[in-house]
Structure formats: structure tokens, C-alpha cells
Amino acid sequence: MHFSGLRVIKEALTGHKGWKPLWRDPEPKPAYDFVIVGGGGHGLATAFYLAKTFGQAKVAVLEKGWLGSGNIGRNTTIIRSNYLLPGNEPFYEFSMKLWETLEQETNFNSMVSQRGIINLYHSDAQRDAYRRRGNAMLLAGADAQLLGPEDLRARLPYLNFDNARFPIKGGLLQARAGTARHDGVAWGYARGADMRGVDIIQNCEVTGIRIEGGAVKGVETTRGYIGAGKVGVAVAGSSSRVMQMAGMRLPIESHVLQAFVSEGLKPLIDTVITFGAGHFYISQSDKGGLVFGGDIDGYNSYAQRGNLPVVEDVAEGGMALMPMIGRARLLRSWGGIMDMSMDGSPIIDATPVDGLYLNAGWCYGGFKATPASGYAFAHLLATGRSHETATAYRLDRFARGHLIDEKGAGAQPNLH
């Protein structure tokens, strides 16, 4: 079924009788050419591109809960390609280009909104670092602008310019960045994959990975054994748990990141803003909620919930930056489990087990990467070679010393 405004009007006039399920609930088949473990954003996008771009017909996505229940279902919806390092920037810019045509490609309105992102700077040193980054973005074909204090004041008059502990001196703007409706992204990919024959199997937890002679044969699941030519694992937050089934230890720790949304308010923040002197970033959803977050709680956790000190820390950051949000009320908070990697950058690579591939380590930046991650992982699964924008995301980079450490924080995941 093709979605369009006309279709919506026609159904409205005929009592919504014609709508069909957005996707099937198929029974698992005995075997597939490709089994994607994880029905989150990256897994669904991988299946979509495997089917659409790489012409693969026998693809299954196995999801232990409901599709889109991973971090795609709980994040702050920011998309951007404002990275510094050559290992990262071309990849995220590729992702941004995919975002720009996502809705037309999936025929589903994921509400990609290029409202821009402004990273604020508060010192000359920070400005210089942003200048280096902005130049790297331009050199990679992305867009960037350096905003001075006057320009910033004109754009964001409500920031605390006059009584700040850390004065706001300017910002790095990426105008093409913005937000997307996170669930809509999962649904668009799921529906698109399903239409192209991908079996999305919900409530199907992988409990084992069958390996014979160093090669993967299939997966054991709560719904029985499923054979597979190739297995791609995309289970951010649970990567260590799943890969342990294949006997692997990963350069990853699981941490909780909290995020927050306020009650609905009339539009007042029309871009994404990040604080450069505290842990706080914010945007406003189309429904009116202020969507904001800050730092991870900082300790290993699989509990999907955080603690009060970080809630306070985030609110302090918000109040320091834009005290006009004080009378808004926090409505909801949630905690997602992040794959925090040892250099803050992800892994899209083959593993020592033949036919077993890994997509992991997205830290808290996985949402914006969804299209490119799916595309690059599909490329790797279909061709056996890394996509040209993802060649740095190798598992052995840690041992070889080719780290992609944007923050320069070293092998301590909670600092990335």
C-alpha cells in the first residue's frame, strides 16, 4: 500500500476501512541467507538495504521484544554529521545524505527535520577546536558555519548571555543537522523491509549462536533453531551478551544514558542546542515537548534506568544555559543502555567466526547513524567488504593503535 496525502483523505472519507497492517507477523522459516539479530533501528535498516539495495530476498530480522524497542525507541532524535576525525566524518555525512531522502525511499514520513544544530563554545580554546572540526566537516563535503556572539544572540536570544558562569562566546552550526521522529524511522524501515519480503520476527530472542568448524550455521532462538548463511548482530546495549554466545569479548561496556522530555509547549526552540560547559543538549519536538539530555550515569548498567544526580546535573545545565525553561515541567524520563566503546566510535566488521558479523559500539550516537549503519552493514554482509565510508570501524583497530577517539579520552568508556 502506498502512503500519500490522497490516500489519507480517501480513507478518512471511507471510514478507514482500507488500511492494512504495516508489517506481517510471519512464522520463522527454517533458514535464511541472512539473519539479522536485533530489530532496532540499525537491524531494520540493515534488512531494508539488504533487500532494496543489495537485492537479497531471504532475510530475517529477529527481535526479542517488539520491533523498535531498543535505543531507536528511546533517544533524543538528533541527526547530525559534525565530527572531526577522518574515520568518522565521511560516514556520518553519508548518513546525513541518506536522511535527506529517507521518506521518499521508505514512503513513510519519519519527519526528518533539518532545523540545524548549534554546539556552543565558551572559550577561545573551545572555539579553536570547533574551528578545526568545522573545517574537517567542510573538507569532507558536509556543511558548517562558525557563529560569533552577535549572530548567536540574534538566533538564540533566550540564552544566558549576561550572567553566565561560563560565558557563551559563539557556536558551531550545522544547518543540515536536525531531528527525526525516532519511532517513525524504525517503522519506515520495518514497513519498507517487510514490503520487500523481509521476515521481521518479533518476540524471538536469540539464545545461542551455532558455530561449526569456525563458521556460523544459524541461531538458536526462543522460537526454535533458525539456519543462516550469514548472521549480522546489531543489538546495541546487549552486544557483549550476544557476542559472548560466540565466545567473544568486546571492547565495550554497557552504560545507561537518561533522556528527558517536558510537557508540551508552544514552539520556542527551533534548533538543536548543545551546551559546551556542561552536560546538556536540547531540542523541541513537533508535539511541543522539550527533549533534552546530558551525560551518561557513568557506571556499567543494564537496568534501563538511571539515578537522581544525573537528572539534577542535566537540569542544572539547562537552567545555566537557558533559564527561561525553568517553569517548564519535566514530564518523563527514561534510560537506555548504550554500547560504550573504548574509543567512543563504533564497530562494523567481520568477526573471527566465518559468516558472523558485528555492528556495535555506537555509544550514545547510534540514532543519527541509523541509515548509514544499516547501509554499511548490509554492504558488508552482502559483499564481504567494508563500505567505503566505514573502513575505519574495524575490530582490530584497538590492538593496532588506529583509534578513532574524538574526545581524546582514552580507553575509558564513560568519558566518551
Partner 1 sequence: MLIPHPLLGLRDAQEFTYLGDAALLDRPSPEGEGAEAAFCDYVFLRGNPAGVHRELWFHEQGDRSWLVVTRNTLTHEILGAELASKVAKALKGAAE
Partner 2 sequence: MTRIPGGLIDRSQTLTFSFNGKRYTGHPGDTLASALLANGVHLMGRSFKYHRPRGPVSAGSEDPNALVTLRSGARAEPNTRATVAELYDGLTARSQNHVGPLGFDAMAVNDLLSPVFAAGFYYKTFMWPRAFWEKLYEPMIRRAAGLGALSGEADPDSYDRGYLHCDLLVIGAGAAGLSAALTAARAGAQVVLADEDFRLGGRLLAESDPLDGGPASDWVAEVEAELRALPNVRILTRTTVFGTYDHGIFGAVERVADHLPVPGTSVRQTLWRITAKRSVLAAGATERHIPFASNDRPGIMMAGALRAYANRWATLPVAGPQDRIAVFTNNDDGHRTALDLLAKGANLLGVIDPRADAPRFGDYQLFAGAQVTGTHGRLGLSSIEITRDGRADWLECHALGVSGGWNPNVHLASHHRGRPVWNEELQAFVPGEGGPQGLIPAGACAGRGSTSAALGDGARAAQAALSELGISAALPRLPEAEDRPLRQTAFWHVPGKARAWVDFQNDVTVKDIALAHKENMRPVEHLKRWTTLGMATDQGKTANVTALAVMAELTGKAIPETGTTIFRPPYTGVSLSVLGGGDTGKDFRPTRLTPTHHWAEAQGAAFVEVGPWLRAQYFPRPGETHWRESVDREAKAVRSAVGLCDVTTLGKIDVQGRDAGEFLNRVYSNMMGTLKVGRVRYGLMLREDGHLYDDGTCARMAEDHYVVTTTTGNAGLVYRNMEFARQCLWPELDVQIISTTDAWAQIAVAGPRSRELLSRIVDGFDLSNEAFPFMACASLSVCGGLRARLFRISFSGELAYEVAVPARYGHALMQRLMAQGADLGVTPYGTEALGVLRIEKGHAAGAELNGQTTAAMIGLGMMVSGKKDSIGAVMSRREGLAEDSRRLVGLQPVDPEAKVVPGSHLFADGTAQDMAHDQGWITSACFSPHVGSSIGLGFLEDGAARMGEVILAANPLEGSCAALRVVPPHFVDPEGERLRG
- Residue of 408, 283, 346 lying closest to 92 (CA atoms): 346
Distance (Å, whole) CA 7 – CA 76: 31
By beta-carbon proximity to partner 2, the closer residue of 108 and 364 is: 108
By beta-carbon proximity to partner 2, the closer residue of 181 and 230 is: 181
**Of the candidates 149, 331, 383, 388, which one interacts with partner 2 according to CB under 8 A?**
331
Binding characters for partner 2, 149-188, by CB under 8 A (x = yes): ---------x-x--xxxxx-------------x-xx--xx
Residues 295-324 close enough to bind partner 1 by CB under 8 A: 298-303, 307, 309
**Residue 334 C-alpha from the chain's centroid:** 16
Residues 192-231 close enough to bind partner 1 by CB under 8 A: none
Contact present, 403 and 104 (Cβ < 8 Å): no
Regarding 223 and contact with partner 2 (CB under 8 A), the answer is no
Distance (Å, whole) CA 304 – CA 255: 9
By beta-carbon proximity to partner 1, the closer residue of 17 and 400 is: 400
Regarding 171 and contact with partner 1 (CB under 8 A), the answer is no
Distance (Å, whole) CA 84 – CA 335: 28
Residue whose cell numbers read 552550526 = 173
**Of the candidates 29, 241, 287, 385, which one interacts with partner 2 according to CB under 8 A?**
287
Give the one entry of partner 1, partner 2, none that residue 196 binds, where binding means its C-beta sits below a cut-off of 5 to 8 angstroms depending on kind. none
First to last CA, the chain: 43
Between strands 178-179 and 206-212, the pairing is: unpaired
One-letter amino acid at 249 equals R
Regarding 398 and contact with partner 1 (CB under 8 A), the answer is yes
By beta-carbon proximity to partner 2, the closer residue of 7 and 29 is: 7
Contact present, 178 and 82 (Cβ < 8 Å): no
By beta-carbon proximity to partner 1, the closer residue of 111 and 206 is: 206
CB of 141 to partner 2, least distance (A): 8
Regarding 145 and contact with partner 2 (CB under 8 A), the answer is yes
Q: Which residues fall within 8 angstroms of residue 21, CB to CB, at 6 or more apart?
A: none
Distance (Å, whole) CA 133 – CA 136: 5
Site residues (CB under 8 A) for partner 1?
Answer: 238, 240-241, 249-254, 298-303, 307, 309, 342, 398-399, 411-414
